[in-house]
Amino acid sequence: MIDGSSPGYLIYGAGAIGSVLGGFLQEAGAAVTFHGRGGHFRAMQESGLHITGIWGEHHIPAGEISVLDPSAAGAFSMILLCVKARDTLEAAAQAAPLLTDDGIMLSMQNGLNNWESIAGQVGQHRTAGSRVIFGSEIVEPGHVRVTVNADDVLLGEPFSPANRPLLKRLEADLLKSGIPARVVGRDEIWAAIWGKVLYNCSLNPLGALLGVPYGRLGESEHTRGIIRHVIEEIFLVMQARDVSVPYRDADDYYHFLLDRQLPPTAEHRASMLQDITAGRMTEIDALNGAISRYGRELSISTPYNDLLTALIKFKERA
């Protein structure tokens, strides 16, 4: 049953993460509309959305999947942007006319510069960010599996105050659906996205290049050494950009990654590996590639991030 007190959610980018968010929100009573492309999205419309994994089994019948009407201008108070980082600018521009004047476009994405791209299309006062650290994968078209959850989904306003009651309502709806979430302040959401960048840059490209789950990367002194250098370079960039994270230094985060973050995600396979396997472009430019760009701008040497970026770009075109 649809809860009339919930805002209308548009899931813009019904891939693995978008399908889980939209499916859980709809199952909890929220009004959800999906927008996507490709075989998975077609299967959702034909056979419904099936979600399995660590959060249980769920099914949204095909007849209950609401698909975006392109003429629905100004119809949504909450747009959850779930596209890959490489598509953010185009997707934000396409979705902007669908947002109400007092609505929020919320990035549910990996990587850097997504929030700035959204703000350029809808204004800082209608932009919100998140830190999503649960993992999911498309098992087959129409079927998504939640593989791991390392922490709460964090929601926040990275620039100027947005519609805080809407953000709190999303928090409540996610909690009701079974997805742990909380609204945090500006400094914490920026620290969280950079913390996720540390995690992704350390593991995602190596997991993709070597074809192994995250846990294997922590077992070898050779991959641990690469990870340490990647982290050290990111800390140099963060210090130059005056970014604060809840770790004393690179060594502190390195041990936190190995001791706290890797164990619960040991069996997870990188989304970058899933992209390369499927012949898709990756998000490397919003992760290690962004660190390399910042390094060049700041005259900071980032050879390990440069090399991982170059190798992934080769794999994309191989």
Task: Judge if 163 and 251 occupy the same domain.
Answer: no
13 and 117 in a single domain? The answer is yes
| CATH number for 148 | 3.40.50.720
Judge if 180 and 194 occupy the same domain.
no
- The DSSP secondary-structure symbol of 157 reads -
133 inside domain: yes
196 is catalytic: yes
For residue 5, pLDDT beyond 70: no
**Final residue of a domain: which of 130, 162, 184?**
184
Q: How many domains does the chain have?
A: 2
- pLDDT above 90: residue 21: yes
Residue 169: what pLDDT?
96
Q: Residue 246 corresponds to which tokens in the numbers above?
A: 């809840």
Beta-carbon count within 10 A of 124 CB: 16
Say yes or no: 227 and 122 in one domain.
no
| Average pLDDT of the residues in 15-24 | 97
**Domain closes at, from 184, 205, 237:** 184
The pLDDT value recorded for residue 318 is 83
Identify whether residues 149 and 196 lie together within a single domain.
no
Nearest to 238 by CA among 193, 282, 200: 193
Q: How confident is the model at residue 293 (pLDDT cuts 50, 70, 90)?
A: very high
Q: Is residue 1 part of a domain?
A: no
CATH code of the domain in which 256 resides? 1.10.1040.10
Residues linked to residue 154 through DSSP beta bridges, in sequence order: 131, 182
- Kindly state whether residues 103 and 158 are assigned to the same domain: yes
In a domain, 99, yes or no: yes
Task: Clarify whether residues 139 and 194 are in a common domain.
Answer: no
Q: What is the pTM of this model?
A: 0.93
Cα 296 to Cα 304: distance, rounded to the nearest angstrom:
13
- Would residue 3 count as lying in a domain? no
Q: Quick one: 168 and 250 in the same domain? A: no
Q: For residue 2, is it within any domain?
A: no
**In this structure, is residue 253 part of a structural domain?**
yes
Tell whether 175 and 210 lie within a shared domain: no
In a domain, 35, yes or no: yes
Between 94 and 150, residue with greater pLDDT = 94
pLDDT value at residue 3: 52
Is the domain of 165 the same as that of 65? yes
Q: Are residues 171 and 247 located together in one domain of the fold?
A: no
Work out whether strand 58-60 and strand 49-53 pair parallel, antiparallel, or are unpaired: antiparallel
* Residues found in the chain: 318
139 closest CA partner among 236, 221, 198, 57: 57
| 262 phi-psi bin (left φ>0, alpha ψ -120 to 50, beta other) | alpha
Task: Tell me 27's DSSP state.
Answer: H
| Each residue's pLDDT tens digit, 93-146 | 999 999 999 999 999 999 999 999 999 999 999 999 999 989 899 999 999 999
Cα–Cα dist 197/153, whole Å:
15
Angle in degrees, CA 260, 113, 224, rounded to 5: 30
Domain membership of residue 180 (yes or no) is yes
Average pLDDT of the chain? 95
Q: Which of 84, 168, 176, 196 is catalytic?
A: 196
For 230-240, what is the mean pLDDT? 98
Instruction: Write out the residue range of the structural domain in which residue 213 sits.
Output: 189-317
Last residue of a domain, one of 127, 149, 184: 184
Q: Are residues 137 and 16 in the same domain?
A: yes
